[in-house]
Amino acid sequence: MTEADLAVVLAIEQACFPRGWSCTHFLAELASERATCVVAEQDGQVAGYLCLTVLLDEAEILNVAVDPSSRRCGIGNALLQWACDQAVRQGAKVLRLEVRASSAPAIGLYQRWGFRQTGLRRAYYEDNIDAVLMDKKLMEEDVDAV
């Protein structure tokens, strides 16, 4: 992800999250030495993004979204594969994330990827929506051989 991607990234963010990240927040992550952000493209257009941080042996997906018009096309899977690859290569043993409890499709995707619920933050998001905390133990096999 570069600053040139931010207009599209912010449009996706607003389409996916009522009170998502601001431009300032994305710029801070792009400037951070600990975070890495990537975009996924479909037909030459940004269709999704993911921001990841790795600290010691733990990685965390800070933000991930796929344009609603590009869902169920493999973009989410590609972004998760990238996150696993990066986390393992940087020495992480676990990959963490949080997701809105109301986002059943996202929770299902994470479960298919081996994430397990580890906690719950009550009324964490707007409208008193809970945050589901999820972890995935990482192994060398999680790195895509391609």
Take residue 4 and report the two structure tokens written for it: 């040139």
The identity of residue 68, as a single letter, is: P
Domain 3-142 homologous superfamily, CATH: Gcn5-related N-acetyltransferase (GNAT) (3.40.630.30)
| pLDDT per residue as tens, the chain (146 positions) | 999 999 999 999 999 998 899 999 999 999 999 999 999 999 999 999 999 999 999 999 999 999 999 998 999 999 999 999 999 999 999 999 999 999 999 999 999 999 999 999 999 988 899 999 999 999 876 666 44
Question: Which residue is it, tokens 């972890």?
Answer: 135
Q: Is 12 helix (H, G, I), strand (E, B) or coil?
A: helix
Strand partners, 64: 50
Residue 146: its pLDDT value, please?
Answer: 41
Q: How far apart are CA 26 and CA 4, in angstroms?
A: 12
Q: Is 95 helix (H, G, I), strand (E, B) or coil?
A: strand
Instruction: Show which residues are catalytic.
Output: 98, 110
CA atoms within 13 A on the CB side of 126: 4
CA-CA-CA-CA dihedral for 95, 98, 102, 103, to nearest 10: -40
Residue 133: its pLDDT value, please?
Answer: 98
Residue 127: its pLDDT value, please?
Answer: 86
CA-CA-CA-CA dihedral for 98, 14, 12, 134, to nearest 10: 0
